[in-house]
Structure 1
Amino acid sequence: MSGELLLHGGLVLDGSGGPGVEADVLVRAGRVAAIGTGLSAPVVRDVTGRVVCPGFVDIHTHSDLTLLSDPRGLSKVHQGVTTEVVGNCGLGVTALAPGAPVEPIRQAVGYLDLDPAVAWSWPDLAGYLAALAGAGPGVNVATLVGHLALHATVVGFDDRPAAPGEIDTMCGLLGEALDAGAVGLSTGLVYAPLPYVRDVELLALAAVVAGRDRIFTWHVRNYDDDLLDSVGQAVEIARATGARTQISHLAAVGRRNWGRVRRALDLVDAANADGCDVGVDIYPYLHGNAPLSQLLPAHVQEGGPQAWAPRLRDPAVRAEVRAAWADRPTGWDELTLSWTIRPAPDPVVGQSIADLAAQAGSDGVEVALDLLAELGNGVLMTAGGRSADDLRAVLCHPAAVVASDGLALDPDGVTGAGVPHPRSYGTFPRYLHRYATDLPDAVRRCTSAAAARVGLRDRGLLRPGGPADVVVFDPARLTDRATFTAPHQLAAGVELVLVNGVVTIDGEAHTGSRAGQVLRGGTA
């Protein structure tokens, strides 16, 4: 359905944070034609007792390749997401230096790569956006430039600083990608070779981003013992360059670090008081999700997965890693394997590393190193060790928006393997159901505030003339159903979703419509 549709009698929260009003919403030709009373249309849907709001804008996702595997974006659109921003944590699939081989980058960003049948054929960011558009996505998609691909294809995977000429090359490639439609740049300073990046490179790239008024998003260098220094690094780059900056999934890992989130937020507040533009995002869970390789010391990962994985069979290297892991802030019982590249079902998936060690009569270090030596980046984990008080502190902070850090998954398809983090299915209903004390403001954090962070000025608000990305949910039934042991469960209570005016979810069922658009930075 893409013609005229009247949503009658709902409580309209327009995404601005203002109070809700009972009103009708008229949709015509993919746009919001009017909001008010006494409206009419050939097709009327009675949504009395429901909330009508903009589609949720998920600015931190890793759906770069899963949306090419199944463009419907089922796990996301069923929870009300109508726009996704991919390319986060530095792990995007563009921009690559011309002629650079794809396979080393594909291994390095294996976290994104759940379907080996997806062909990685684009030469540049424009080609990737064309591939997305050609797939016919069920949600709108914008992309960041991934720092890992940029750095690795210019500088390589060695532990060395970029030469001045290499920095110039990266800045040129970044500028071209931003001009081709990227909404910004993301870095992830835990993902090799990015731990080897020096500030001079970050400053140069941030200046390119600032010059085009785009966003620079940060998976900071450390979220446990060195959280404050890591957030401080991002803030200082923002101060020096004026780049709009986003601290991704702000959390403190390990009980001994609980409470540091509030001090990190103080750094953000101080920067903003001085005229910077620094935001944060978070998802409403106490566990994270990452490649198991994230635990490795940075220098051990030199050379890329094709080099470091076999290196982990060396007893001397294993002894070195064991020593580095002697004072880890989280226990092996807090790390559960969520997916591997082995054929499903893999019996290790769903088990903690501590449990696997007990079964093998070994210890967590040996189990983890054996897995990494065999699978490289092809093994993912969920990780605990976070504080509920820290989570609430971020969710309530004025600079915070909600973002899933998840992927668009097909529960019945190839991307539905394993036991992934439930955030891919439940982030927004969970937040609104469990954490929202002020519903208009909570909706704002999921819609207009998130869109504004990445410069998508025409999304996140219900207003006449704007795109008709609309969610209708029943506040009495809205909830997440996905769990850590049974994550492939769609959210409940999201009754109707329109993407660019096309009914995509109707009665909590997918209609088969794929009306998403590729969104480009620098455009209204």
Structure 2
Amino acid sequence: MTATVLTGALVVDGTGAPGHRADVTIADGRIAAVDAPGTATGTTRHDLEGLVLTPGFVDLHAHSDLTRFAYPTGDTRVLQGITTEVIGNCGLSPAPTSGEGFRGAIATIDVVPSVPLSWESPAEYLDALDGLAAAWNVAPLLGHGSVRRRVMGDATHTATPADRAAMSRIVADALDAGYWGLSYGLMYAPGELSDPTELEALAATVAAADALVAVHMRAYDADGLVAAIDEILAVATTARARLQISHLRSILDPEGAALDAALSRICASVADVAADAYPYLAGHTTALQLMPSELRARGTAEILAEVRADRAALAGELRRTVHFPPDAITIVRAGEEHTPELGRTLEQLQAADPLGRDWALILLDLIDAHDAAVDAIIVGTRPDDAARVLAEPYVSVASDGVALALDHALNRPHPRSIGTFPHAMRDLLDAGFPLEAVVHKMTAQPADRLGLTSRGRIRVGAPADLVAVDPTTVRDRADYTHPLVAPVGIDRVWVAGQCVAESGHVTGRLPGVLLRRTR
């Protein structure tokens, strides 16, 4: 048996236990031994003196559902230490498909349109992932929005008992096929149209399988955050579901009062609830999220029809309802080409506009010109509030990012895609958190929340998904202008015992697998 010994590092095993010096032996893709320093023998030895050896980072919230097919080396994943990620979040999954208009319905995750959709059912999508060689592991959730559209098309009415039953059958079959749970996207069409009865019925189906319900809530702004928290806590309590609140944050919350109330509600809840968060002050989403909620819920085709029918009236509505200042909104995607608007704020575009249009008309013209394929990065969270959320003991670090190659050029991504885990580690360590607690938030805690007990720990028999990190230098270097710059301090990353990243470069090895849930 060929064995590799990693020696000299401080081993922080992911459980929160104190770090200790040890030799870690890898054989056949697994951790074969954890021995006293200097005692292990192996064919190959790697000296990691001065580094910390941790489990591979587990990202509970990602959107690499389609980009995995285009970028199998997963540069933005493995270069920051992510060895396993959970896809299918925010109610958006590439299966089940639902005919014409489906790619528009999942446009937020469809950033590489050249990837063909060669499947229809959730099980067929898993089969496609099974046949794909990639550098890191994925664990899929099923997107409620995709399920709803499969059953109800673009209908805007409340789901009937027959609709709910049909959706529940799709969810149950997907769980049997290996999905890890269901995600809701309650700010995206068609999930935004769902009422509590529908949400509770599907959550109960998931709870019966002891799987996870992840939720992008209806609102994160100060006016709607608390009501959104109350809604989803009630759903989880009624359905007895295990709940994961996605990218917990508050926006447009000048004194942090809404966040105070939201955190109090979570702590007082009887539901089985946890959350995840990223350390950035801006989100990245489709520009359609800026539309009035009643229009947004009707879907892309209806939005485009409204834009083209009465642009002036809709622009007036945006001026009344959008509370982000124009300098907080940066255009990062406009169609599939590099357009002059990319990387510029609405304020900058307004100041330079030769036609004298204001930001609202510029935005609507972009949406019209590019058939709604327009994304924006929007700043809205206070630094203190981002830090408060990440410090909560039930909050895991998660990126809300996507797997891309460093030469990706179809849009300008959010730096969280490549920098979340180094950024969060630096912030938490600088705030005085023990290294062991920080690593726990990135490894065993998110793995356990999903139910993925095989990952997130350094222990004998576990897959050899590992990260060698220098906690004194680790930090992200990507920003909103240069979002695809590798972090520093992530020395080496292994998946199944194979080195997939070293010194800021991917190696090209593809040992990652689809992780199917079994019951």
Q: TM-score range by the shorter chain?
A: over 0.9
Structure 1 equivalent of residue 169 of structure 2:
172
Runs of 4 or more above 4 Å deviation: none
Alignment of 1:123 with 2:120, yes or no, is: yes
Structure 2 equivalent of residue 230 of structure 1:
228
Structure 2 equivalent of residue 270 of structure 1:
268
Among 153, 162, 166, which residue is 2:159 paired with? 162
Distance 1:324 1:66, change over 3 A: same
SS at match of 2:101: helix
Deviation at 1:160, TM superposition (A): 1.1
Alignment of 1:195 with 2:192, yes or no, is: yes
Deviation at 1:373, TM superposition (A): 2.1
Contact 2:253 2:259 in 1 (8 A): no
Among 446, 451, 467, which residue is 1:450 paired with? 446
Task: Tell me the amino acid that sits aligned with residue 175 of structure 2.
Answer: L
Deviation at 1:258, TM superposition (A): 2.9
Structure 1 equivalent of residue 405 of structure 2:
410
Deviation at 1:448, TM superposition (A): 0.6
Deviation at 1:357, TM superposition (A): 1.7
Structure 1 equivalent of residue 301 of structure 2:
306
Contact 2:290 2:322 in 1 (8 A): no
Distance 1:172 1:20 in 2: 46
Alignment of 1:288 with 2:286, yes or no, is: no
Structure 1 equivalent of residue 40 of structure 2:
39
Alignment of 1:378 with 2:376, yes or no, is: no
Task: Tell me the amino acid that sits aligned with residue 45 of structure 2.
Answer: V
Aligned residues: 511
Distance 1:11 1:249 in 2: 31
Structure 2 equivalent of residue 319 of structure 1:
313
Deviation at 1:72, TM superposition (A): 1.2
Contact 1:104 1:304 in 2 (8 A): no
Contact 2:136 2:513 in 1 (8 A): yes
Alignment of 1:182 with 2:179, yes or no, is: yes
Matches within 5 A, 1:227-266: 227-256=225-254, 258-266=256-264
Distance 1:80 1:52 in 2: 11
Distance 1:416 1:457, change over 3 A: farther
Task: Tell me the amino acid that sits aligned with residue 120 of structure 2.
Answer: P
Task: Tell me the amino acid that sits aligned with residue 411 of structure 1.
Answer: L
Contact 1:318 1:369 in 2 (8 A): no
Superposition CA RMSD, Å: 1.6
Deviation at 1:302, TM superposition (A): 5.5
Which 10-residue stretch deviates more, 499-508 or 317-326?
317-326
Contact 1:262 1:390 in 2 (8 A): no
Deviation at 1:367, TM superposition (A): 1.2
Contact 2:499 2:509 in 1 (8 A): yes
Distance 2:2 2:380 in 1: 49
Structure 2 equivalent of residue 479 of structure 1:
475
Identity of aligned residues (%): 37
Distance 1:477 1:324 in 2: 44
Which 10-residue stretch deviates more, 416-425 or 24-33?
416-425
Deviation at 1:364, TM superposition (A): 1.4
Distance 1:249 1:519 in 2: 23
Which 10-residue stretch deviates more, 400-409 or 87-96?
87-96
Deviation at 1:387, TM superposition (A): 1.1
Distance 1:326 1:257 in 2: 22
CA deviations over 1:82-139 (Å, ceiling 9, x no partner) = 001110011111234xxx31x4121111111121210101121221122122221210
Distance 1:255 1:234, change over 3 A: closer
Which 10-residue stretch deviates more, 210-219 or 358-367?
358-367
Distance 1:380 1:34, change over 3 A: same
Deviation at 1:359, TM superposition (A): 1.7
Task: Tell me the amino acid that sits aligned with residue 107 of structure 1.
Answer: G
Contact 2:425 2:438 in 1 (8 A): yes
Distance 1:308 1:250 in 2: 27
Distance 1:241 1:261, change over 3 A: same
Distance 2:2 2:187 in 1: 48
Matches within 5 A, 1:350-429: 350-360=343-353, 361-412=356-407, 415-429=408-422
Alignment of 1:114 with 2:107, yes or no, is: no
CA deviations over 1:65-95 (Å, ceiling 9, x no partner) = 1111111111110110000111001111123
Distance 1:198 1:46 in 2: 56
Contact 1:137 1:514 in 2 (8 A): yes
Structure 2 equivalent of residue 28 of structure 1:
27
Contact 2:307 2:314 in 1 (8 A): no
Deviation at 1:375, TM superposition (A): 2.3
CA deviations over 1:259-287 (Å, ceiling 9, x no partner) = 3222211111111xx3x210111001111
TM-score (norm 2): 0.95
Matches within 5 A, 1:484-503: 484-503=480-499
Unaligned runs of 5+ in 2: none
Distance 2:177 2:277 in 1: 28
Which 10-residue stretch deviates more, 384-393 or 374-383?
374-383
Which 10-residue stretch deviates more, 196-205 or 155-164?
155-164
